[in-house]
Amino acid sequence: MELQELVDEVSRVLGEPVVLEDRDFNLVCYGAHPDELDPVRQRSILHRRSAPEVQDWFERFGIATSERPVRTPADPGFGVVARVCLPARWNGVTYGYVWVLDAAGRLAGPEADERLDRVMRHAARAGTIMAGQARTREHLAERAHDLLAGDPATAEIAAAEIDRLGALARDVPVRAIALHLADGGPVPPLNLWRLPRAAVATATDDPADPTVLLLTPSTDADHLAEAARRLYADRLDGVEQTRLVAGVGGERADLVGLRDSVREARLAARVAHEVPRLRPVARWDALGPYRLLACGPRPALREGAIDPAVRPLFEHPVLAETAATWLDLAGNAQRTAEALAVHRQTLYYRLGRIAQLTGLDLADGRDRLTLHLALTFRPLVG
């Protein structure tokens, strides 16, 4: 019996709405609910998790260590109705909670106790399943680390083990996804229960630049990048949400080639931070000239992409923005003036100043390319 089936069966036996959360109060699955719910249950379903203050409130009643059903009281001021918590445990460890609403007080008395005892076996079964899945995810994360960081022989062994565990098949085209916060902040924990079973999650080793990585079948990558970013963003406040981006690497024929896709996904995320039109999810296949970032170390790219003639322009941000906009719009003066909200004569004056500062001939295609490359790559190579 799967977790959703267990939840539905508990709801059927008790005649009350039921949800299953993991031990970190992430929503795993839920059964049918009436239209009107208490605010805590509404938020847990809408946001796929319960807030930290909700977790603290319920844990006061000993749910984390109990082996029996735990009744929690109503608290109108906190926005909760009465509940019964059925701990989902395995081998003495709590892996989740089956929550049963009891707004009408029907789960009290000997007959209700008998029904609760009957459904505790379903909670225990949920604990067993969740423990097994947690162990598998941990094992997959370790094998994914070996796949990406090890030598070719280790990568082959790791790929075979990931295949054996039923996540990613050894010979299915795959892509990597990188989730990254601007300024190198830590990405918050993800509700792994909301990810497809085929997605393998791991993280980079670099504490100065933490990145969460997802390895997934190529056909699922675009959808999963959007979904995973939303799941992470739900844990951030409004300002931080705008700092969270995802990069999708190029396709590889099988798992052993994923190391290169990870590098591409991380570069795509880096570009997304600097190029607003590519946010919030940047795809390696759509990066265009930004793919040159994969061609060498940053100092070498800086020397190659930023011609010395362009450097004086960087001291004049308005002129640099004007040049970039004009080049992005293929030298169309009318569209550039409209985009910058300036008169066309002002634009022509600025273009003249740009030519004077750089010594470049803006009517020459090669000089335009020199200027465009420098303006495009400066934010990314320093």
The 10s digit of each residue's pLDDT in 366-379 is: 999 999 989 988 88
**Other beta carbons less than 10 A from residue 92's beta carbon:** 7
User: What separation in angstroms does the CA of 332 have from each of 207, 341, 348?
Assistant: 45, 14, 11
Which of the pair, 132 or 381, is modelled with greater confidence? Answer: 132
Percent of the chain predicted with pLDDT > 90: 48
- pLDDT of 352 strictly over 70: yes
With cut-offs at 50, 70 and 90, classify the pLDDT of residue 138: confident
Give me the CATH topology for the region 3-131: Beta-Lactamase (3.30.450)
Question: Is-contact 287 376, C-beta < 8 A?
Answer: no
pLDDT in tens, 215-231: 999 998 999 998 888 87
The CATH 1.10.10.2840 domain(s) of the chain lie at: 298-381
The CATH 3.30.450.40 domain(s) of the chain lie at: 3-131
Token look-up 């001021």 returns 77
The pLDDT of residue 1 is 65
CATH number, domain 150-290: 3.30.70
The pLDDT of residue 377 is 85
203-212, 213-222, 251-260, 329-338: which has the minimum mean pLDDT?
203-212
Give me the CATH topology for the region 298-381: Arc Repressor Mutant, subunit A (1.10.10)
pTM: 0.74
pLDDT in tens, 139-196: 888 898 888 887 888 989 999 999 998 888 888 899 999 988 876 666 656 667 777 7
The pLDDT of residue 337 is 94
DSSP 243: T
Three-class DSSP category at 48: coil
The pLDDT of residue 302 is 80
Buried-exposed string 142-160: b where 16+ CB fall within 10 A, e elsewhere: ebbbbbbeeeeeebeebbe
The CATH 3.30.70 domain(s) of the chain lie at: 150-290
The pLDDT of residue 288 is 86
39-48, 126-135, 302-311: which has the minimum mean pLDDT?
39-48
Mean pLDDT of 108-123: 91
Mean pLDDT of 287-300: 80
pLDDT in tens, 298-350: 787 788 888 999 999 999 999 999 999 999 999 999 999 999 999 999 999 99
**What is the residue-averaged pLDDT of the chain?**
88
In 54-126, beta strands by DSSP E = 70-72, 83-90, 93-101
- What is the Cα–Cα distance from 147 to 153, expressed in whole angstroms? 9
The pLDDT of residue 73 is 93
Mean pLDDT of 104-123: 91
Cβ partners under 8 Å of residue 364, min gap 6: none
With cut-offs at 50, 70 and 90, classify the pLDDT of residue 94: very high
Question: Is-contact 228 255, C-beta < 8 A?
Answer: no
